[in-house]
Each structure stands twice: as C-alpha cells, then as structure tokens.
Structure 1
Amino acid sequence: MKPPRIAVIGAGLMGRLTALALQELGAELHLYDRGDLDGQQSAAHVAAGMLAPASESVSCDNLVVRLGLKAIPLWSELLATLPQPVFFQQKGSLVIAHQQDRGSLAQFRQQLSHRRRHFVGLQAIDCDAEAIAQWEPELAGRFTQGLLLPGEGQLCNRSLLQSTQGAIQSSGIRFHGNWHVYSTDNGYVSAHQTEHKPEPRHRRDAFNLIIDCRGTGAAIPSLRAVRGEVIRVTADEVRLNRPVRLMHPRYPLYIVPRENSRYVIGATEIESQDNGNITVRSALELLSAAYAVHPGFAEARIDQMQSHCRPALTDNNPAIRFDNALIEVNGLYRHGFLLAPALLEEIKHSATTMLELGADRALNQRREQSQFAELYHSARH
C-alpha cells in the first residue's frame, strides 16, 4: 500500500513544524512556500518569541490560555528533536510601570487576579522596589512596583527557523520554494512560480491531504491582519535577565533579552493591515520607552527595524477547519509561539483522523475527543 501524500502549504512557524511532525505518519510529505526555506518572509521571522500565558490572559479568550499553559512544557521536548540548539529560557517575565502609569499596572493586576481564579497554572508575585531590584538589579531604584510572572519564558525565533530549516533539508520532506499556491480545491494543489522568468511556470499536484498553514496568505473570508513592530538592538550597557513588559496606557512595550547583549523591543499589537516599514513615530515611541526603562539603551546600536502582519480571525482565537481533503490552521494572532506545540498535537491527531475517516466524521470525532473542542470548525460554513 502506497504511503499517503500530504501537502503542507506555508513554511512559516506552524507549516514547518507540521511538516516535521507528520514524518511519523510515514507519509510522502511536500512543503510549499511562496518564499525560501529560511522563513524571512514569515511573521515568525519578525516575532519576539515570547511564551507568556499569564501576560496574554488579561486580553484573550480561555481557549488561548488553556492552549498556552499546555504548550510551554512541550517546547523543551520539541526543541530536543532539532539538529541545532535553539535559545530557550524560562525565567519568567517582569511587568513594571512608571509611577505616573501605576493605574495601568493596577488594572493589569486586577484582570490577572480574576483570571488566576480560573486557571491555577497562572502565577504572579507582587514586587516592590526591593523585589524588582532582586530580580533585575539594573532596574534598582527606577521602579517601585511590578509583578513577576514566574511561569513565562521565551525562545529565539530566528534560531528556531534556522534549526527547523536544517531539519527539513536533512529529512525526506520535499520542499517547493518560491511557489505561490492559489488553489487547494478537491485534493489538488495548484501553484505558479514566484521567481521572475520569461514564462511563468505552473503546477497542479494531487494529494490525499492538504494542510494549509499560510496565515495571512490564506483565502479565509473572516481573516484579517494585525501589525506587529519590533526593533532589534545590541546594548552592551544593559543586563536584563528576562523579558520586561512596561505598562503604558497608549503603547504597552516589551523588551526581550537574547544572547550576546541583543534585545528585541516591540509593541504588543497595532490594529492595522499595513505591512510596510516601521514608522518614525513608532520607532521614536519604542526607543524612548526602552530608554525610560533603562538609560543604557541610549548607547545601544540599532541592528534592525521590522514590521509584519499576523493572521487573526474575528474572535482572535486560533481555528482548525475541515473541508474535504483540506485542513486549515489559522488565526494564531500574536500567540503563534505561545501556542505552537499544543496546536501541533491537535494537527497530528487531525491529520491521522482525516486520512482514516474523511472530513465530516473526522471533524465530529475531534470535537468529541479533543480537550480543545472549540478549536474545530467546518470550512464550509
């Protein structure tokens, strides 16, 4: 009996992880992307890689919190399967506010306290000036109140992309780079080549199962894009041990430390579908806020300024949608890295069930058996 042919569309975070995970099915795997395998066109390349279920819980649905709490311990297992090391840290994160913004911190504390009554996995420790100085010595004397969220972590998005690229290249997965997929109807992948050639090349390939992980590139009517902006700097005069979130009524900020004195500075979200370069206003606000957290950022060298749009559905929740020989995975919003390992387990079960039962019966079974039944939808409605 021939092994099933499975196509994964999109080689961003979920697409490449899905392709690698489905190798255990013994399938003939094909991975398509409009760009190269380095992932530089994906939202994952711009992301900060924060794993922050407590921070996100104050503004997201219960589904995201549950998935996030399940996913964090799975990251260590997933990273251990990759050929190259990926920077991973779980020292918690620190939420702080300037004195004039203590109202924003108080509101965050109140909202988080409410969520913690429903989710025992969410942890928070109130910090006064002395505690802040203990956790982050270089912030001593600058902030008098905050919260330590000890269960949170982060990983380096770019080293993950590099390591998964190496894993795919050394596997039996067939990668089709620079191909734009314009149709996934009736078990066929139809695509045209994106490279500039005198005559465009087209292809149409048949598969037993297609898994669409294209994010904002997918053809889902309710899909929208949410802009994220980051600035990457090298700051030799700054020593932060964990991600720091600055509460602010207008532009909440995060600062994520990486190896070798590198930092990612970003804004939580901007409701805009503009995928253009970062604006002067945003750059000034981000850098000014970072300097206000730690004056050592004044001497930092700017390595890169980037923006990208992330996929979001109407309710800002992720969704797995079934339709004939197609599974659509989308709507990860700003929670891609937080949710990925937990979603990956759901995708593996979905693929196996779809191949055995077909779309309708597989959808019903996943709704009955998954602890995240609200993830599952029919793409026909």
Structure 2
Amino acid sequence: MTQAVIVGAGLMGRLLAWRLSKSGVKVSVYDASRQDASLSAAWTAAAMIAPISEKPLCHPDVFQLGLRSLQLWPQLLAELQRDTGQSVRYLRRGTLVVAHPSDAAELTLFKNKVCDAELPGESYAVALDKEGIAKKEPQLSTSFDRGFWLPDEAQVDNRTLLSALSSAAEQYGAEFHYSAPVQFDGDRHLYRRGDSELAADIVIDCRGAGMVSRAHYPEQYPEKDRSTQSIEGIRGIRGETIWVACPEIEIHRPIRLLHPRYHLYLVPRGEGKYQLGATELETNDRSPVSVRSAMEMLSAFWALAPEFSEARILSMETNLRPATQDHRPVIIDDTHDNGRIVVNGLFRHGFLLAPALLEKLTLGALSGLISLPKRSSTDPRRVYETRY
C-alpha cells in the first residue's frame, strides 16, 4: 500500500488527506496546532468564494483559479455529504459591494477593473442605486447610495467543513497527529518529527505560514537563522477579525466596504453572528488584536448598520496567511528527486483556490494516486446554492 505523509492539517492538507485516503493510500497527517485547527489560516478565515470581488486586487491567475473553484465547491460538498452524512452550510447569495459617498471613486475603480472581463454568468456585476441596495439588504445603513451586487459569489462554513473533511479522511483510514510539529531538513531533503525521520512514499508539505523561516523577520528574531525549511519568498501576513452577535439585525450576504486604505468585509455566520475583517500587516506576529485594529473594525460595524452598536463581542482573532511576492499560490513538484510536493502561498485566498489546486494536483503530480470521484446524478448546485 502506498504511504503518504501530509504536513499541515489546514484546508489544503485535509482536502488532500480525504482524496488520498479515499483512493486507498495510507495517509498520516501531522500538524503543529491542536485538534481545533486554531493555528490554521483556514480556521480564522471568512471562507468567501469571491473571485469577482478579488479581481481588482489579485493576480489574473488567482482570479481564474477562483472562477474554477466557484464551479467545484458544490461538487466537493455534495461528495463530502455522501461520504459523511454531514451537510456543510454553503450559501450562494452573492456579494454586495458598497462605499461611502466620500469614497465613490473606489466604486468607479472597482467597476473599471471588474467590468472589463468576459466572465461566466448572465450578470456578474449588477449596479445598484440606493433603492436597489435597500432591497438586497434592508437593514444596511442608508448612507450608501451606490454599489454592486455580484450574484455568483458564495460563502462556506469553514469550521464545519474542516471538521467534516477530517472525519471523511479518518473514515477511509487516515490518521491525524495534532500538536505534532514537523521540520524539514533541507540538507538531507527529509522531514523529521523530533529525532525521527518521517518515512513515506510521498510527503506533501501544506504547512502554510508554518513554513516561514525566521530569517524573513530579523527585527523579531535577531539571531542568525540559516534554516532551509522555507520556500524562498514565503512570508506571513497578519490578519485580524472580530466576531459579534447581534440577533436584532439580519444581513443575508457578505458585504464589502471599499475604502482608499483598506477593504473591509462583513460576513453573516448564521444564528445572528457576524464576522468582520480583516487587516493586512506585514509581520509574523500572532499576538492579540491591537487597539487600533479593534477600533477600526468596530467603527466599521457602526458604519455598515447603526444597529450593530448593541452587538455583543464574541471574539477577536488573529492569524497568519502565507504569501508569495505576487500573492500567487505555489506548487513545487519534487516527487522525482526527493519524494515531496509543496503547496503553499494561498494567502487570504485559501477557500478561493483550494478546489482548483486540488484538481491540478489530481490531474498532475498525484494522478497515479488519486482516483477521480464519480459524477453525481443530481446537480449539486441545486442542493447547495441559494440566490435571491
């Protein structure tokens, strides 16, 4: 039996563990964090599948991969439900993009960068006036008089998904080892858990920001660190989010608030809970949310809907997103020489990119190990997607 080691139990690691174990591969997964995946960027993420929203900010490759993932997510979730009997919340109600009247130029820039593309769908960016915004989100602030509705975009319940993926992988025999950090010995091209070598036919490195070398942050780690365990150029980008509970207000879809300095998002999480984020700071610091960031995010709640003034703060969370220089993901296929594959650099686009990258690996480096799933007789879009 083929044996595979996956280093990192984030979104990409769990998708691969599920796929490989389902194909008959003996899979062992090692992760530095606890079982709740709190160190994974996927745990903290808002889990939006929003390629149109991201188009003005991301590389064209990311945009194209995102469009593909938007097609693949319903299929993956339908298959996951068949394997586990567990339904993962997936909403396709689009994204509402707004800006304050004083920042109207941001909407013009957004329109110029989005509407020049030939995109799938009958209406991928619908211009809205104040009345149109109010029809989509009646409880949103009345200060927004222009915006766009992007009807094709979606959102997935990331924490339920992570749990379902590990359950599905374990059902097919995968073993997960938590609080189990792994190091890569670059001189000998092997992975170690403590003093023991991790022997396998293939090792897939999905450590995300856990791969970042201290050498990238000399101001935080002044000692010399010549570690070769990181990909050149991978760095951590700190993101901060805040969760609140506000049953008095009902927002139906993600809201993007454009601003010259930052682009904030508000995501409904169900049961009257909302997540707002996120800052982007060039640092490898995982410490708690700063006062400045908290004030900016809390003021954004007020700006989006005054009723949020009575919301109750549930948590403030920080995490690190692994980023490359151009924010494109990287797949290193080193299977021929060293028996490993590296998948990294998903940045803040993990849920936007993961299904498309899984497909690339399935058709490429892992084509001999992974069997493609059978097509469902039902259209998964009808099962999981809701638009109005």
- Bin of the TM-score, shorter chain as denominator length: 0.7 to 0.9
Give the distance between the partners of 1:178 and 1:137, measured in 2 at CA.
Answer: 45
1:13 to 11, 15, 37: 11
Give the distance between the partners of 2:128 and 2:314, measured in 1 at CA.
Answer: 32
Give the distance between the partners of 1:172 and 1:24, measured in 2 at CA.
Answer: 8
State the match for 1:132 in structure 2.
133
Deviation string, structure 1 residues 82-132 (Cα, Å, up to 9, x no partner): 422211101000001111111112111112123x24x44581010001111
Question: RCO (CA 8 Å, sep 6+): is it higher in 1 or 2?
Answer: 2
SS at match of 2:364: helix
Label 1:355 to 1:237 Cα distance change in 2 as closer, same or farther (>3 A).
closer
The 5 Å alignment of 1:102-113 reads 102-113=104-115
Deviation string, structure 1 residues 317-349 (Cα, Å, up to 9, x no partner): 011102221100001011001111111111223
Give the distance between the partners of 1:165 and 1:157, measured in 2 at CA.
Answer: 12
SS at match of 2:139: helix
State the match for 1:158 in structure 2.
159
| Residues matched between the structures, number | 343
The 5 Å alignment of 1:31-70 reads 31-70=29-68
Give the distance between the partners of 1:286 and 1:23, measured in 2 at CA.
Answer: 41
What TM-score does the superposition give when structure 2 sets the normalisation length? 0.84
SS at match of 1:206: coil
State the match for 1:274 in structure 2.
285
Note the aligned Cα RMSD (angstroms).
Answer: 1.9
Label 1:233 to 1:246 Cα distance change in 2 as closer, same or farther (>3 A).
same
Label 1:220 to 1:235 Cα distance change in 2 as closer, same or farther (>3 A).
same
State the match for 2:206 in structure 1.
213
Label 1:261 to 1:53 Cα distance change in 2 as closer, same or farther (>3 A).
same
Contact preservation (8 Å) 2:236, 2:321? yes
Structure 1: gaps spanning 5 or more residues: 193-201, 357-381
Contact preservation (8 Å) 1:231, 1:264? yes
What TM-score does the superposition give when structure 1 sets the normalisation length? 0.85
Q: CA deviation at 1:188?
A: 4.3
Give the distance between the partners of 1:93 and 1:181, measured in 2 at CA.
Answer: 39
State the match for 1:22 in structure 2.
20
Q: CA deviation at 1:296?
A: 1.1
Contact preservation (8 Å) 1:318, 1:330? yes
Q: CA deviation at 1:184?
A: 6.0
SS at match of 1:179: coil
State the match for 2:225 in structure 1.
none
Give the distance between the partners of 1:313 and 1:354, measured in 2 at CA.
Answer: 29
Q: Alignment identity in percent? A: 42
Structure 2: gaps spanning 5 or more residues: 212-229, 371-388
Contact preservation (8 Å) 2:55, 2:63? yes
Label 1:187 to 1:167 Cα distance change in 2 as closer, same or farther (>3 A).
farther
Letter in 1 for 2:110: F
